[in-house]
Structure 1
Amino acid sequence: MTLQIAIVGSGPAGYYTAEAAQKLNGGDVRIDIIDRLPTPFGLIRAGVAPDHQSIKAVSRRYEKTALSDNVRFAGNVPVGDGGIAIEDLLGLYDAVVLATGAPTDRPLGVPGENLPGVLGSAAFVGWYNGHPDFADLAPPLESEAVVVVGNGNVAIDCARILAKLPEEFEGADIVQHAVDALAVSQVKCIRIVGRRGPHQVSFTPKEVGEMGELVRATPIVDPAAFPPVEDDEALEPGLRKVVTALRGFAAAGPDLEKPVRVHFDFFLRPVAVLGEGRVEALRLERTRLVDGRAEGTGEMLDIPCGMVVSCIGYRTLPIAGVPYDERGGRFVNDEGRISPGLYCVGWARRGATGTIGTNRPDGFAISELIASQVTSSGKAGRAGLDALAAEKGIDIVTFRDWQKIDAAEVARARGGAPREKFVLVDDMMSAARS
């Protein structure tokens, strides 16, 4: 009998798991990749920076898997509250894999973090990438100063998008509402704040290098933030390139002809967001390194700003009926196994760590685990999902339907852009049913 597998989530972890399950089981498997949105690819579509199109090109690999005879994309299908319950999926499939990623922000955890003007990176990135959940975000870009908290690539992406002119987005799939808002932005000062130093950043060389190529923005780094230059030799090669670039910014000083300043501020951690009814400043404590960890010194600094973007990590959304690790922000699991027939993969399994490519070996490991623990039991699989969806009034979007949405987005692209995304689910569904 054919093994029936449901994968919840159509991002990199989901598609790599489907690809691995195909290779391990040949034609004796049927896979449904379920997503609550009518559009596939998860993080690739809504998380990767819109001006990094070469990274988004990995979706072509997922498309090959999606168009296989024994794989189906089932979009517009919510799982959990108000949708298909986990216990229903377990009754329909031999194995259910949660590949839902980590779509929500880890909280800053400081007083005032709920003030208007404090945005998580998932929300801000989702806004400029056209995610339906964040289409109405309206970041306060009338503010002259913005603080971006975090020292990873997401933080540097947010700073770069804030610093760019509209013409610098040629070839990017940033949505029109974001381009229009950024065109009239009053932001002149962007501070990227990290609690440790240059040797502990998680930037990659490409992202740091791009900060030196912006038309109207100049990067600024305090030379005093660095340890002795000979200490750089002990760094791994990628981080050494990053630190070398940061040292270059420090040595060059600001380009006085550029009106926007992007400061890399090290050894600072947020302790409170200040303001009456909205963000007015971020209070930070100076830190020092003790055995590689940031330790507060008690010295405080208030940075005036009208917007704070928190880029300190992500959490998986809980699903009813699935044990959840509140501290880790992921599902409770043993090497990917949650309970009999129920598994998790990618960020939903290990937390929000690693790159897109990290999900490939993860997907193969989970598929091998399923192959060793699960056998076909004659469950209804796809036919059962279709019947249950019809009963609940859920209109399933297939990959062929997605291709209609894709074609419509490409057709409505502004000059120089690869597409203009629909940001409303109703518009996506209209295109899918055209």
Structure 2
Amino acid sequence: MLRLKSHLTKRVGYTIRCISSAPPVSPTNPESVCIIGSGPSGFYTLKYLLSHPSPPKIVDLVDSSRVPFGLIRTGVAPDHGDVKNAQSEFTQIIEGGNGSTGVRFLGGVAVGEGERVKLSDVEDHYDAVVLCHGASLSNELNLPAYKPDGSKVEAPPVVRPGFREVVERKGGEGLSITVIGGGNVSLDLARVFAKGRRGILGESEVRDEEIKEMAEWGVGTIGLYNRRGAYQTAFTTKEFRDIYKMAKAGKTALRVDLEDIERSSNKESLEEMEGNRPMTRLIKLITQVAEDDGVKKGEGTQISVKYLRSPSEIHTDEEGNMMSVRFELQELSGEKGAQRAVGTGVFEDVQTDVLVSSMGYKASPLDQRLPFEGGRYKHERGHVEGRVFAAGWCKRGPKGIVGTNITDARETVGRIYEGTETERGEVGGDFVDFLEKEGVEYSTWEGWQRVDEVERDEDRLREGQARNKIKDEDEIRRVAMGR
């Protein structure tokens, strides 16, 4: 088993300064654990390892990014400061510790096939490895494109829901954006552009130049298109209520067609809603919006949510520029809980300048030998195989909110302490020694603290702004490495 080397505290920067005595080690009580990924699932896994009656002596958080927090930092909408407050909770987890476990953050260390560090290298140095790397591959939207004469052309660029990517596509008053996908990310996109047109992003993390561009731009319409019905809605009540409040205040317009809700209300969907309180609340709110004529008349960006429509092709002008998207109306088919959308043969064309794909993500395995199916690892309550475990999106699929990772991580940590059918065997020394021997550069928690200090420097901030993030990766590396 791995024994803590006293010189590591000084050299790498543990978040504690002493190691107390621990209970006797058994095959089910790991002394060393590596968590690959420092997003919500990684930090909640760390939390439950630290709070276990027999915590490990060492836990390392390894991430390909120089900075921690995963999608809390990079994927949460820049105006959602309440969600980003999870960073404070995660900081307390790693800095508060438990008085007996050494915790390290090792940033800038990519693990996987094709990388300098392989998963097998990590396994060689820990009693347990927990994969918390999330789902970084987007589901692609591949549509044929046609010119007015019917000739097929290369499809215009379809962008992902990165705000800067959309901003750079095309300017001009009345810009029309069509979003394929109806999850929380789609609502985030609509909300930020609606706020941007009104110039009310001052307290957000959006940069000054981006705020200026969005205000000058004036996005006219944003349509969010869902393949299935209202009862299969992917976004949450909270996110939708935020936009509804904006519309009630006259800061944007919001539309849901009652006809779409009626077409969604088949017997199977109504049965799916029975006993499902969150969905009942959401359908009530969606129906309320559909019946509220007042919110359809708000000024600024016109946001519409459409159901039972699937994109089939793109229409361009003679130069190949985006003109419209053709949708096929859908109907639901199948049993309760297993309904799918099928085409009706009825089509409608929607004029658009920018097409955004927001169809979710899928994971890819760090090692092809691991059991993997349907965009996630095959596992038994978090145990993948050998000394490898998983938590978060790569375990359950890309669904749920930040808090969903709590029970997920707790289950995986509990499974770690149950042991495995095979002996873990001896581990081969300290992982940092391995990184230095291989010439792999890594940053530490102290490096993140330097980045954090720069981003929160008052000289960088607007009034009311909490953070102005460093966007350039080379600059992040320079600051994190203290250069």
TM category (shorter chain) comes to 0.7 to 0.9
User: In the alignment, is residue 203 of structure 1 matched against residue 235 of structure 2?
Assistant: yes
Shift of 1:234: 4.4
User: C-alpha deviations, 1:56-78, integer Å up to 9, x for none?
Assistant: 21222211222235211111111
Contact 1:66–1:399 (8 Å) recurs in 2: no
Kindly state the Cα deviation for residue 168 of structure 1 after the two structures are TM-superposed: 1.9
The answer (yes or no) to whether the contact 1:4–1:376 under 8 Å persists in 2 is: no
Query: Do the aligned residues in 2 keep the contact of 1:286 with 1:300 (CA within 8 Å)?
Result: yes
Deviates more, 1:371-380 or 1:157-166: 371-380
Deviation of 1:9 (Å): 0.3
**Secondary structure, in 3 states, of the residue corresponding to 1:362?**
helix
Alpha carbons 1:44, 1:56 under 8 Å: kept: yes
Q: Which residue of 1 aligns with 2:289?
A: 249
Question: Are the counterparts in 2 of residues 220 and 262 from structure 1 also a CA contact under 8 Å?
Answer: yes
Specify the alignment match of 1:225 in structure 2: 260
Aligned partner of 1:302 in structure 2 is 349
Kindly provide the amino acid, as one letter, of the partner of residue 304 in structure 2.
H
Tell me what 1:138 maps to.
168
Q: Is the 8 A contact 1:144 1:306 kept in 2?
A: yes
Cα distance in structure 1, aligned partners of 2:109 and 2:396: 24
Which residue number corresponds to residue 238 of structure 1?
278
Deviation at 1:329, TM superposition (A): 1.7
Report sequence identity in percent.
27
Question: Residues 8-407 of structure 1: matches in 2 within 5 Å?
Answer: 8-24=36-52, 26-67=54-95, 68=97, 69-80=101-112, 81-111=114-144, 115-121=155-161, 124=162, 127=163, 138-142=168-172, 144-165=175-196, 167-214=199-246, 216-227=251-262, 234=274, 236-253=276-293, 255-256=296-297, 258-275=299-316, 277-291=320-334, 292-323=339-370, 325=372, 328-373=374-419, 377-380=425-428, 383=430, 385-407=431-453
SS of the aligned residue for 1:280 comes to strand
Shift, 1:297, TM fit: 0.3
Report the Cα offset of residue 51 of structure 1. 1.6
Q: 1:179 to 1:103 in 2, by over 3 A?
A: farther
C-alpha distance in structure 2 between counterparts of 1:407 and 1:273, whole Å? 46
Q: Aligned pairs, how many?
A: 421
User: Looking at CA atoms only, which structure, 1 or 2, has the larger radius of gyration?
Assistant: 2
Give deviations 1:300-354, integer Å, cap 9, x for gaps: 112121212222221113424453646x222343443332111221111111122
- Counterpart contact for 2:203–2:462, Cα < 8 Å: no
Which amino acid in the other structure matches residue 212 of structure 1? Y
State whether residues 117 and 140 of structure 1, in contact with CA within 8 Å, keep that contact through their aligned partners in structure 2.
no
Does the Cα contact within 8 Å between 2:382 and 2:412 map onto a contact in 1?
yes
Given the two structures, how large is their TM-score scaled by the length of structure 1?
Answer: 0.87
Distance 2:285 2:392 in 1: 31
Hey, what's the Cα distance between the residues in 2 that align with 1:141 and 1:102?
Answer: 32
Letter in 2 for 1:243: I
Q: Give the match for residue 131 of structure 1.
A: none
1:420 Cα deviation from its structure 2 partner: 0.7
Q: Which moved more, 1:68-77 or 1:230-239?
A: 230-239
1:418 to 448, 463, 466: 466
The CA distance in 2 between the partners of 1:177 and 1:7, in whole Å, is 37
The 1:28/1:391 distance shift into structure 2, 3 A limit, reads: closer
Deviation at 1:362, TM superposition (A): 1.4
Q: Secondary structure at the match of 2:141?
A: coil
Displacement of 1:140 in angstroms is: 3.8
Which residue of structure 1 lines up, in the alignment, with residue 8 of structure 2?
Answer: none
SS in 2 for 1:184: helix
Report the CA distance between 1:378 and its aligned residue: 4.8
Give the secondary structure class of the aligned counterpart of 1:226: helix
**CA 1:312–1:87: 2 relative to 1, 3 Å:** same
- Determine helix, strand or coil for the equivalent of 1:372: coil
Distance across 2 between alignment mates of 1:182 and 1:380: 53
SS at match of 2:52: helix
* Secondary structure, counterpart of 2:66 in structure 1: coil
Tell me how far 1:299 sits from its aligned partner: 0.7
- Which amino acid in the other structure matches residue 264 of structure 1? V
Q: CA deviation at 1:255?
A: 4.8
Structure 1 residue 256 displacement after superposition: 4.0
Structure 1 pair 172/114, CA: closer, same or farther in 2 (3 Å)?
Answer: farther
Residue of structure 2 in register with 1:430 after alignment: 478
**Whole-Å separation in 2 of the counterparts to 1:241 and 1:86:** 44
Shift of 1:210: 1.8
Counterpart contact for 1:150–1:312, Cα < 8 Å: yes
Residues 312, 245 of structure 1: CA spacing in aligned structure 2 closer, same or farther, 3 A cutoff? Answer: same
Question: Is the 2:143–2:155 Cα contact (8 Å) retained in structure 1?
Answer: no
Encode CA deviations 1:145-186: one digit per residue, 9 max, x unaligned.
Answer: 111122221211111112213632232223445434323324
How far is the alpha carbon of 1:42 from its aligned partner? 0.4
Residues in 1 aligned to 2:167 and 2:367: alpha-carbon distance in whole angstroms: 27
Q: CA deviation at 1:394?
A: 2.8
Q: Is contact 1:97-1:343 (8 Å) kept?
A: yes
Q: Aligned with 1:62: secondary structure?
A: helix
Residues 376, 337 of structure 1: alpha-carbon distance in 2 compared, 3 angstrom cutoff: closer
